[in-house]
Amino acid sequence: MATYVIGDLQGCYTPLQRLLQRIDYNPQQDMLWFCGDLVARGPESLACLQFVKSLGDRAITVLGNHDLHLIACYYGISSAKPQDNLQTLFASPQLDELIHWLRQQPLLHTSEDMRYIMVHAGLAPDWSVPQAMQMTAEVQQQLRTDPLPLLHIMYGNTPERFTDALSVQQRWRYTINSCTRMRFCRPDGALELKEKGHPRNQTVLVPWFEFWRNRLQAELFFGHWAALNGYSPVANIHALDTGCVWGNALTAYCIETQQRYSVAGLTR
């Protein structure tokens, strides 16, 4: 049995199937972990959701910012843009079922032995791992049982520090921003949510994972940050978004062998 952690699909079902052939995936024995953003931008969001859902307990996915945005659009709280490429998904008779399934997925996944953690974007420097688990569990429960109050307050860049999250709603937003949107922080650990580029172009902002260097006892897997092209300088923190939807590659990491596999991404 092998466990493969796969970077952002973003509607790229055909490259996913090539990647599964590349790793000689055995659906009866192997586990697939998905780093979130199953949908949006690519042409096959419907197929991606259908496939991952069909795997049942042989797959684990965490929610990304595009997945949450899809849920908000479904409930009429936001609107999909043409470049989101979600028309086929919204026209599907399976839409209700797929959205319900997506709402059940976590923001953060930890293995039973706490050796491995998966999140879409990252973990806020202000948190410990137990705090991250507590806060994501709170958001997950709300999304599963009564999503509208959460979705209505989801969008926005504040609060920037966990200590400034004084209300339940502010804690929800801070948690969502950390787990699904964050790339950089200010030197004091405050979230900075606008910059999307490569760390080499920064002189002030600090990649979130640098705050976890020598702090994290587990191995952590994340996606979201295509500009990194799968590179993280922190040994036990693994970047897996290699820009499939932008024509670069789709990547899987085998936990047991510590080997990476990649196939060509979407042809644009």
What is the pTM assigned to this prediction? 0.97
- Rounded Cα distance, 1 and 8, in Å: 23
Q: How far is CA 180 from CA 11, 65, 102, 212, in A?
A: 17, 5, 15, 17
> What's the CATH superfamily of 3-147+215-264?
Metallo-dependent phosphatases (3.60.21.10)
The pLDDT profile of the chain, 268 residues, written as one tens digit per residue, is 999 999 999 999 999 999 999 999 999 999 999 999 999 999 999 999 999 999 999 999 999 999 999 999 999 999 999 999 999 999 999 999 999 999 999 999 999 999 999 999 999 999 999 999 999 999 999 999 999 999 999 999 999 999 999 999 999 999 999 999 999 999 999 999 999 999 999 999 999 999 999 999 999 999 999 999 999 999 999 999 999 999 999 999 999 999 999 999 998 6
